[in-house]
Amino acid sequence: MEEESRGSSLVIALVAAVVGLLVGFGGAKVLDQGKSAEEKTTPATSAAPAVDTKAADLRTLLNNLESEHVQLAVQATKAGYDGQKNFDAAGKALFANGDNISAAVGNVYGDEAAKKFDQIWDSHLTFFVDYTLAVKNGDQAGMDKAVQNLNGYVEAISDFLSSANPNLPKAAVAELFTQHVGLLKSTVDAHASGNYSESFARQHDAHVQVGKIADALAGAIVKQMPEKY
């Protein structure tokens, strides 16, 4: 009797497992055949909201471009410091990414705004290269000059964005871009000191932080132009 009981339990367990597999791997369609046509076609009330909107596309675009910017900036500066043969190629890719970001700005604010943004954006790429090479050569005056120029970039980009969009207060924009510049600078400093773990940690932080910039820009643009997004 005990063996029969164990056998019955095993059969029940196997049946339950088969039903579970049917539900998990498409069996739900089989079990659904007994429902009426109306029951099959009625959407669930808990369906997730649509995400394929222009606003979502803008946020995704800016996040992807800004994230790529961090990756390429770190690659270019490390290649420059280490004297790698791919330094020129990394620099070209970095500036090409800047062109794409400027084009995204132009899609929102027009060609003249894109040109102005591109000038400001490209300047900070050059300043980072200047800083990296100054660190490599132990040129303190060169490092100080590059940092001064980067501070000027923060001022310029904050002026531009706050003037273009009333939902982007200059002080808030300046804080975000100051953090961005500081994190990228710290990746260079850590790499130069041979603390590679710290350099990669700061690179990770830069990736996370630049997402905040992208989200802030996308949100402000959508709020400014709800009819477009």
Judging by beta carbons within 10 Å of its beta carbon (0-12, 13-18, 19+), is residue 177 exposed, middle or buried? buried
Span 128-165, pLDDT tens digits = 999 999 999 999 999 999 999 999 999 999 999 999 99
| Closest among 107, 48, 118, 124 to 229, alpha carbons compared | 107
The mean per-residue pLDDT over the stretch 84-94 comes to: 96
pLDDT of residue 51: 58
| Closest among 172, 162, 167 to 224, alpha carbons compared | 167
pTM of this structure:
0.77
Which of helix, strand or coil describes residue 194? coil
Owner of token pair 């300047």: 123
CA dihedral 14, 20, 22, 26 (to 10 degrees): -160
The mean per-residue pLDDT over the stretch 83-88 comes to: 95
